[in-house]
Amino acid sequence: MKPESLAEQSRQWQAAATRAGEEKYCLRLYVTGTTPKSNRAITNIKKICEEHLQGRYTLEVIDIYQQPVLARGEQIIAAPTLIKRLPLPLRKFIGDMANVERILLGLDLRPNKKHVEANGKTK
């Protein structure tokens, strides 16, 4: 039996979470030390996660000054950057995470208002 790829393991984990009725979110926030912008991003994303994903997420905060290899591996070009690894598709958000509507939409937690208005209903 050959070992499974990381992508295949992620797909299986996501399928299991979906079957259980609630998807699990795997998030990584890349910051630059303890700057005001980094601190705001940490506070904002923790608040969003607790309000909308309580018990269904993992959040890993990575300081790119302390772990530059991880930032290079993810091709981080600006900080703070949030990466939604699961559920797929992978998404990246740059900034202090203050635009809650944008973050929720990107995490697929709230319907797109334009789509709702155009169709008169939510999908």
Q: What is the pLDDT of residues 58-81, one digit of tens each?
A: 999 999 999 999 999 999 999 999
Pairing of the two strands 81-86 and 91-94: antiparallel
Please compute the mean of the pLDDT values over residues 6-11 and round it to a whole number.
Answer: 64
Q: Whole-angstrom Cα distance, residue 13 to residue 23?
A: 9
Give the type of residue at 45.
I
Higher pLDDT, 13 or 11: 11
What's the topology of domain 24-119? Glutaredoxin (3.40.30)
Q: Rg of the Cα trace of the chain?
A: 16
Range in 8-12, 76-80, 102-106, 117-121 the model is least confident about: 117-121
User: What percent of the chain lies above the pLDDT cut of 90?
Assistant: 68
Q: Whole-angstrom Cα distance, residue 13 to residue 38?
A: 30
Residue range 70-110, pLDDT digits in tens: 999 999 999 999 999 999 999 999 999 999 999 999 999 87
Show the tokens assigned to 102: 């944008």
CB 123 within 8 A of CB 100: no
Q: Whole-angstrom Cα distance, residue 8 to residue 14?
A: 10
